[in-house]
Structures are given as C-alpha cells and as structure tokens.
C-alpha cells in the first residue's frame, strides 16, 4: 500500500497557524490558499483541525471549511470542537470526507464514536490522539496538550477501534512543531496495537525523519505541517525522496 502524504492544517480562524509544542502560534496563511497550493504539489489528503474551537467551546466555522473544500479534489478531514452527531453531519455537508474527533470523545462521551460510525460509516471517523510521554507510557491529552485525560494511549486506541473508529491521527505533544524527528517508539506501538490505519504526525524536520518513521513504524500515512508550511520542502520533494528509497507513494 502506498504511504499517504497528508498535509495538516492547524487552524486558528481565519489562519492556518503553526504552534510549536502546541503553543506559540505563527500565522502561515489562509486555509483555502494553502489547500490549492498543496493540491497542486500533489498532496494525497488534507487534514484541517480548528485548534481553538474546543478550548473556546464554540462550533467550528463551517464557511471556512467549505471554502477550503472547494479547492480540493482529494480527501479532506476536518475536526475541532466536534461534540454531536449534528456537528458531524454539518461538516460532511460542508465538504468534509472524514471528521476528526478528540476532546469530546476522550473527556466526556466515547459513545459518540459508536453513534457516528453507525450513521456515517467507520471510514469517515478519525480519532485524533495527543500523546504525551510519562515515564514508559503515553497519556492522552486534549486542547493542544493542555488538559490531561488520565487515559493511556494504547488502551484508548484499542478502545476507539472497537467502538468503530476508522482511522487514528497520532500526534505527539512532545515532538510537535520541533522538527526534530517523530516519536518512533510511540508510533510503532500504536500501529501494532490496532487493525485500522494510523496516520503519524508531529516531528518531521528532514526527509530522513519521514523515511525513518515509515520504515520503522509502517504507518498508513504521514501528516506533515511545519516543513511544508515554511517551504523547506514541497510534497513532491518528499515523494521523490521516498520513491528513491523504495517506499511506495502515490503519483
């Protein structure tokens, strides 16, 4: 299977921003402009997360989502502040192909995963994880790594798979935005723990980092933000490098 190269948008409306360590935001650009840019670069998918919706307890901004969707003829995952079946439905109607959920499921009501999977199908439900290492384990965090959940990452990914999630977006609070490599140990453990696809995020600094995590953890996809947003590489640079190293990617 070709490893998917996904571009991640952390959105603080109206801008895509890039948090370092999930804090200290830098403005990158408007989601619709960046969507077009990365579509033309050959991205396989875009994942858009409104990183403040949950914290401010407001709805995601559907107009922004729709404008971004208009630029894309590739899959588009959207999340941030999702807390009801109605939110899922509105996002699909705004052009999302997948809906990403974290805070509400892990902190308040994990049953929403079961309900959403039964209505929308597992393939459209992505559970996002913000993992933070503590001794030899990882704990689930929410709201950009601010709030603890007391849930073990490995137990939680197994649970969400049983509940009907179709995909995991794995982020590392420790590595995000630092461009110093992925948490490979965590990535391996999560990929091995579940039968659903896992997308690994947080930490790409060099092309070698991406190759290393794919070879070692064998994820279904890699979600990349900083090195693309700062124009260090293009999506095609990444794909060409991976192809040269015998890693299968799409055109």
- Applying CB under 8 A, the residues found at the interface with other proteins are 1-2, 4, 44, 66, 69-70, 72-76, 85, 89, 92-98, 117-124, 166-167, 195-198, 220-221, 250-251
Question: Which residue, 33 or 143, is less far from other proteins as judged by CB?
Answer: 33
CB of 119 to other proteins, least distance (A): 5
Token digits for 93? Answer: 């109607």
CB of 196 to other proteins, least distance (A): 6
Question: Which residue, 69 or 214, is less far from other proteins as judged by CB?
Answer: 69
Question: Which residue, 22 or 120, is less far from other proteins as judged by CB?
Answer: 120
Alpha carbon separation from 38 to 2, 66, 89, 127 (Å, rounded) = 18, 17, 26, 23
Question: Which residue, 4 or 132, is less far from other proteins as judged by CB?
Answer: 4
Question: Which residue, 28 or 100, is less far from other proteins as judged by CB?
Answer: 100
CB of 140 to other proteins, least distance (A): 21
Q: Tell me the DSSP string of the chain.
A: -PPEEEEEEEEETTEEE--BTTBS--EEE-HHHHHHHHHHHT-SEEEEEETTTTTTT----HHHHHHHHTT-SS-EEEESS--SHHHHHHHHHTT-SEEEE-HIIIII-THHHHHHHHHH-GGGEEEEEEEEEETTEEEEEETTTTEEEEEEHHHHHHHHHHHT--EEEEEETTTTTT-S---HHHHHHHHHH-SS-EEE-S---SHHHHHHHHHHH--SEEEE-HHHHTTSS-HHHHHHHHHHTT-----
Bin 157: left if φ > 0, else alpha if -120 < ψ < 50, else beta.
Answer: alpha
Question: Which residue, 16 or 69, is less far from other proteins as judged by CB?
Answer: 69
CB of 54 to other proteins, least distance (A): 22
| Of 33, 91, 36, 83, nearest in space to 61 by CA | 91
Question: Which residue, 166 or 203, is less far from other proteins as judged by CB?
Answer: 166
CB of 154 to other proteins, least distance (A): 17
CB of 195 to other proteins, least distance (A): 6
CB of 69 to other proteins, least distance (A): 6
């Amino acid at each position: 299977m070709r490893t998917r190269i996904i571009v991640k948008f952390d959105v603080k409306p109206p801008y895509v921003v890039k948090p370092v360590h999930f804090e200290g935001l830098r403005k990158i650009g408007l989601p619709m402009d960046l969507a077009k840019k990365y579509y033309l670069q050959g991205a396989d998918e875009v994942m858009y997360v409104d990183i403040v919706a949950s914290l401010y307890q407001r709805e995601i901004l559907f107009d922004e989502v729709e404008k971004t969707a208009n630029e894309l003829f590739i899959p588009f995952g959207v999340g941030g502040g999702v807390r009801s079946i109605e939110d899922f439905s509105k996002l699909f109607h705004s052009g999302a192909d997948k809906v990403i959920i974290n805070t509400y499921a892990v902190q308040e009501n994990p049953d929403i995963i079961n309900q959403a999977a039964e209505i929308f199908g597992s393939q459209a439900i992505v559970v996002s994880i913000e993992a933070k290492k503590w001794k030899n384990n990882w704990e689930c965090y929410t709201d950009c790594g601010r709030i603890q959940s007391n849930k073990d990452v490995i137990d939680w990914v197994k649970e969400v798979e049983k509940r009907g999630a179709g995909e995991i977006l794995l982020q590392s609070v420790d590595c995000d935005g630092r461009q110093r490599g992925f948490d490979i140990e965590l990535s391996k453990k999560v990929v091995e723990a579940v039968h659903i696809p896992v997308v690994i995020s947080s930490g790409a600094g060099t092309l070698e980092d991406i190759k290393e995590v794919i070879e070692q953890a064998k994820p279904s996809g890699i979600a990349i933000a900083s090195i693309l947003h700062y124009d260090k590489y293009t999506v095609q640079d990444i794909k060409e490098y991976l192809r040269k190293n015998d890693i299968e990617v799409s055109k």
